[in-house]
Amino acid sequence: MTELSKSGAAVGEPTDASPAPTAFLEVRDLKVHFPTDDGLVKSVDGLSFALEKGKTLGIVGESGSGKSVTSLGIMGLHTAGQYGKRKAQISGEIWLDGTELLSADPDHVRKLRGRQMAMIFQDPLSALHPYYTIGAQIVEAYRIHHNVDKKTAKRRAVEMLDRVGIPQPDKRIDSYPHEFSGGMRQRAMIAMSLVNNPELLIADEPTTALDVTVQAQILDLIRDLQKEFGSAVIVITHDLGVVAELADDILVMYGGRCVERGPAEDVFYEPRHPYTWGLLGSMPRLDREQQERLVPVKGSPPSLINIPSGCAFNPRCPYADVPKDNVTRTVRPELTEVGSRHWAACHLSAEQRETIWINEIAPKL
Ligand SMILES: Nc1ncnc2c1ncn2[C@@H]1O[C@H](COP(=O)(O)OP(=O)(O)OP(=O)(O)O)[C@@H](O)[C@H]1O
Ligand code: SF4
Ligand SMILES: [Mg+2]
């Protein structure tokens, strides 16, 4: 994630002129809304960020905050079957290597998918076809974009399975998805995602269903492969700890919007938004007693149909009454710079934040 020198979109406000982007991936004021019988679900509601090649952006937020919808939107898959049949309303701009994807020919976007950009899905079973062998699926993914014979493609598939740490890849290539363990399936899907050396890789909760050891292996793998291929990577998770080490930058989502973003170190060690404080407080810590550690953010995520007025976090925020004149309930806070390349959307003044952080939050972490 980089500062957007030309458009200024990094401060959350894309300009009308929409000048050409400077970053490899630039998302400007992305909105993905779903019309439903109950009303319009504003799953993503004005998200802007940029990402360079060779860098990793971590997107963090609770369940339902819009992380997967964001990634499906970037991949041009927001209307995909897994999210229902009603047509999503999508607006904003998604620039990938100089091409604006939302206004591009869908055939062109389809060609980019798999070749220039690829996604590791939250649920590997939804991305792998049960009736075809793992090998056949990787071969197919490769041959769509490369004019090679099956033998050459199979060699490439074996090489990829080997690369992601599947033992005896020349034998396992003929296995079906259900014959693999969860961790192996996740690896196979990573192999399939990376077979065409994508320049943009989106990994949506790549480790949630896995045990801690396999989680660490998968994250190492993504890191190694990124170094090797120099790709831009987005890692999506609800676990701030996962991205603290892996990501260069972190973007915290709440109710379909960004509430904080900046360099991973700053967001992790000096967060400036009460919601990020809550996420940090709820992180499992190995050095604490069980009852001391898991303090979830109190309350439930907001309705995306009736988003609370003012700051969407106000019904759950312990500091909602600190800023004057009930402003947290009436005025939506915009992202403002709180440090170098570090933004937060909160009405607390710099002094108020500092005092709360030093006296109440930091000592408990
Ligand atoms: N097709 C759709 N129609 C209506 N609502 C939808 C649709 N797709 C997604 N949503 C809603 O959008 C919101 C954001 O969903 P999303 O899958 O992006 O959440 P998430 O942050 O990825 O959560 P999780 O951590 O559980 O994966 C959810 O409330 C979801 O129910
Ligand atoms: S704007 Fe108010 S309610 Fe929202 S996070 Fe800041 S202090 Fe809490
Ligand atoms: Mg998700």
* pLDDT in the model for residue 218: 78
Ranges of CATH 3.40.50.300 domains, the chain: 21-116+198-284+292-298
Tokens 């989502």 label which residue? 253
* pLDDT in the model for residue 278: 93
Max intra-chain CA distance, the chain: 70
pLDDT more than 90, % of the chain: 63
- Point out the ligand nearest to the CA of residue 121: 3
Res 224 pLDDT > 60: yes
- Point out the ligand nearest to the CA of residue 255: 1
Res 228 pLDDT > 60: yes
In this structure, the number of other CB atoms found within 10 A of the CB of residue 174 comes to: 11
Say which residues have a Cβ less than 8 Å from residue 148's Cβ, sequence separation at least 6.
142, 156
Res 122 pLDDT > 80: no
> Smallest Cα–Cα separation from 188: which of 173, 202, 204?
173
Write out the two tokens for 92. 């904003």
**SS3 of residue 271 by DSSP:** coil
Q: Buried (b) or exposed (e) across 41-71, using 16+ Cβ within 10 A?
A: bbbbbbbbbbbbbebbbbbbbbebbbbbbbb
What separation in angstroms does the CA of 363 have from each of 277, 293, 298, 356?
Answer: 12, 13, 19, 10
Q: Can you tell me the mean pLDDT for 78-99?
A: 78
What single-letter DSSP state applies at residue 178?
Answer: G
Res 81 pLDDT > 90: no
Residue with CA closest to ligand 2 atom 1? 346
- Which residues line ion ligand 3, judged by CB < 5 Å? 67-68
Instruction: Identify whether the C-beta of residue 56 lies closer than 8 Å to the C-beta of residue 234.
Output: yes
- Select from 3.40.470.10, 3.40.50.300, 3.20.20.150, 3.40.50.800 the CATH code of 21-116+198-284+292-298: 3.40.50.300
Q: Can you tell me the mean pLDDT for 91-108?
A: 94
Say which residues have a Cβ less than 8 Å from residue 327's Cβ, sequence separation at least 6.
310, 347
State the distance from the centre of ligand 1 to the C-alpha of 127, rounded, in angstroms: 17
Instruction: Identify whether the C-beta of residue 342 lies closer than 8 Å to the C-beta of residue 263.
Output: yes
Residue 285's pLDDT band (cuts 50, 70, 90)? low
Please work out whether the CB of residue 83 comes within 6 Å of at least one atom of ligand 1. Answer: yes
Q: Can you tell me the mean pLDDT for 326-345?
A: 96
- Pick from 34, 40, 74 the residue to mutate for probing ligand 1's pocket: most ligand atoms within 8 Å of its CB: 34
Write out the two tokens for 24. 């490899």
Please work out whether the CB of residue 313 comes within 6 Å of at least one atom of ligand 2. Answer: yes
State the distance from the centre of ligand 3 to the C-alpha of 123, rounded, in angstroms: 9
Residue that wins the pLDDT comparison between 242 and 13: 242
Please work out whether the CB of residue 34 comes within 6 Å of at least one atom of ligand 1. Answer: yes
The pTM of the full predicted model, rounded to 2 decimals, is 0.89
Instruction: Identify whether the C-beta of residue 60 lies closer than 8 Å to the C-beta of residue 252.
Output: yes
Backbone angles phi, psi at 145, to 5 degrees: -110, -5
* pLDDT in the model for residue 287: 54
Instruction: Identify whether the C-beta of residue 83 lies closer than 8 Å to the C-beta of residue 275.
Output: no
* pLDDT in the model for residue 97: 94
Residue 86's pLDDT band (cuts 50, 70, 90)? low
Please work out whether the CB of residue 147 comes within 6 Å of at least one atom of ligand 1. Answer: no
Q: Report the atom number in ligand 2 closest to the C-alpha of 312.
A: 4
Res 327 pLDDT > 80: yes
Residue 87's pLDDT band (cuts 50, 70, 90)? confident
* pLDDT in the model for residue 291: 43
Q: Can you tell me the mean pLDDT for 184-194?
A: 89
Q: Can you tell me the mean pLDDT for 191-216?
A: 83
Q: Can you tell me the mean pLDDT for 12-40?
A: 80
Instruction: Identify whether the C-beta of residue 236 lies closer than 8 Å to the C-beta of residue 63.
Output: no
Q: 348: buried, middle or exposed (CB in 10 Å: 19+, 13-18, 0-12)?
A: buried
Between CA 288 and CA 59 the distance in angstroms is: 26
**Ordered DSSP codes for 49-107:** EEE-TT-EEEEE--TTSSHHHHHHHHHT-TT-GGG-SSPPEEEEEEEETTEESTTS-HH
Res 334 pLDDT > 50: yes
Out of 11-20, 79-88, 291-300, pick the least confident: 11-20
* pLDDT in the model for residue 226: 85
Tokens 């607006």 label which residue? 91
Give the chain's mean pLDDT: 87
